[in-house]
């Protein structure tokens, strides 16, 4: 009888192409902490010139405008081409840019509805946001601007695990992750003609990430530093263990999954102000246990 090696032994890393059509743009890599150098979580995958947004934390549209200025013209000036978005979960640091995403690109010229995919609760959030700005919208539609309402309309779609989106550029699979008591937290797997990209969202270690990232081209994963973990209170140590992934745990995952590139983002760094180079400390912690290609993502990085 034939025997098969465990999945982690079968998992082989892909070779990254020197020139790929699919690009990843880190619009925001921050946390709830108001770090002026890191906007709230927001990542764009540009496939065949079409942008797909994951999460919309504070500052999302201004970061999109900065990326446009840096040459990522697929986003459109002021994010006018951001028509499709995916939400990992409903925490404020991932959603506080929602009104901005709905309204600003519309004001700047978007004429298509915004399609958003996310967990249960997204429809209610969308209703409340659009209700809160209804006077603004009415003024811009009926006043001198005479904007068309189609551009600020939102199609909110609440999802379950599995393939949730597919077009000629990309297939998107949602999978459940563990983020403490936050129900309906998802990671996403994007498959384009030339790359497979997995983004964890916020999560404690979970096997679904390995199952979806095994041998992928890029794994974008949240992480916290063991060094800063030791500097926070017991309450926040418990919180981190329940809601997030340590550098040690992420290194163990990466050794099994073997992504061609591991990108660290959403780096929980309480206590990091006591370290001279907190990003380097975190990177060193991962590299001590994982010998693959790994980088720390910063706002406006392109991979």
> What does the pLDDT look like over 20-78, one tens digit per residue?
699 999 999 999 989 899 999 999 999 999 999 999 999 999 999 999 999 999 999 99
CB of 88 closer than 8 Å to CB of 186: yes
What does each C-alpha distance from 94 to 86, 89, 184 come to in angstroms?
11, 7, 14
Say how many domains are in the chain: 1
What does each C-alpha distance from 189 to 162, 220, 301 come to in angstroms?
10, 10, 20
302 located within any domain: no
pTM given for the model: 0.92
30 located within any domain: yes
52 located within any domain: yes
- CATH code, domain with 267: 3.60.15.10
Torsion of CA 8, 9, 14, 15, to 10 degrees: 140
8 located within any domain: no
Question: What's the domain range around 195?
Answer: 19-296
3 located within any domain: no
- How is residue 260 written in tokens? 């061609």
CB of 30 closer than 8 Å to CB of 93: yes
pLDDT per position in the chain (303 positions), as tens? 333 333 434 454 443 444 569 999 999 999 998 989 999 999 999 999 999 999 999 999 999 999 999 999 999 999 999 999 999 999 999 999 999 999 999 999 999 999 999 999 999 999 999 999 999 999 999 999 999 999 999 999 999 999 999 999 999 999 999 999 998 999 999 999 999 999 999 999 999 999 999 999 999 999 999 888 888 889 988 988 899 999 999 999 999 999 999 999 998 766 555 667 788 999 999 999 999 999 999 999 999
* Residue 296 bridge partners (DSSP): 264
> What does the pLDDT look like over 158-174, one tens digit per residue?
999 999 999 999 999 99
113 located within any domain: yes
Percent of the residues in the chain that have a pLDDT greater than 90, as a whole number: 83
CA 299 to chain centre: 12
H or E segment and range at residue 285 = helix 278-289
Whole-number pLDDT of residue 268? 76
2 located within any domain: no
């Amino acid at each position: 009888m034939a025997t098969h090696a465990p999945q982690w032994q079968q998992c082989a890393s892909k070779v990254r192409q020197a020139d790929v059509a699919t690009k990843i743009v880190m619009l925001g890599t921050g946390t709830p902490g108001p770090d002026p150098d890191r906007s709230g979580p927001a990542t764009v995958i540009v496939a065949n010139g079409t942008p797909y947004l994951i999460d919309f934390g504070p500052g999302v549209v201004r970061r999109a405008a900065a990326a446009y200025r840096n040459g990522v013209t697929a986003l459109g000036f002021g994010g006018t081409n951001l028509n499709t978005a995916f939400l990992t979960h409903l925490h404020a640091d991932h959603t506080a840019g929602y009104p901005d995403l709905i309204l600003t690109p519309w004001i700047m010229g978007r004429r298509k509805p915004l399609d958003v995919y996310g967990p249960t609760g997204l429809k209610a959030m969308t209703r409340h946001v659009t209700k809160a700005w209804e006077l603004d919208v009415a003024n811009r539609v009926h006043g001198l601007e005479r904007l068309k309402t189609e551009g600020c309309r939102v199609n909110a779609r609440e999802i379950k695990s599995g393939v949730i989106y597919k077009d000629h550029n990309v297939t998107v699979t949602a999978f459940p992750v563990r983020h403490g008591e936050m129900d309906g937290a998802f990671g996403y797997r994007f498959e384009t003609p030339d790359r497979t990209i997995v983004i964890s969202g916020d999560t404690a270690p979970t096997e679904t990430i390995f199952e979806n990232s095994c041998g992928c081209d890029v794994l974008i994963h949240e992480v916290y530093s063991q060094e800063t973990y030791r500097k926070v209170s017991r309450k926040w140590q418990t919180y981190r263990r329940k809601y997030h992934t340590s550098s040690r745990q992420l290194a163990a995952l990466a050794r099994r999954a073997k992504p061609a590139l591991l990108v660290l983002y959403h780096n929980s760094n309480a206590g990091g102000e006591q370290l001279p180079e907190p990003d380097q400390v975190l990177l060193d912690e991962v590299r001590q246990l994982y010998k693959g290609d790994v980088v720390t993502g910063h706002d406006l990085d392109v991979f």
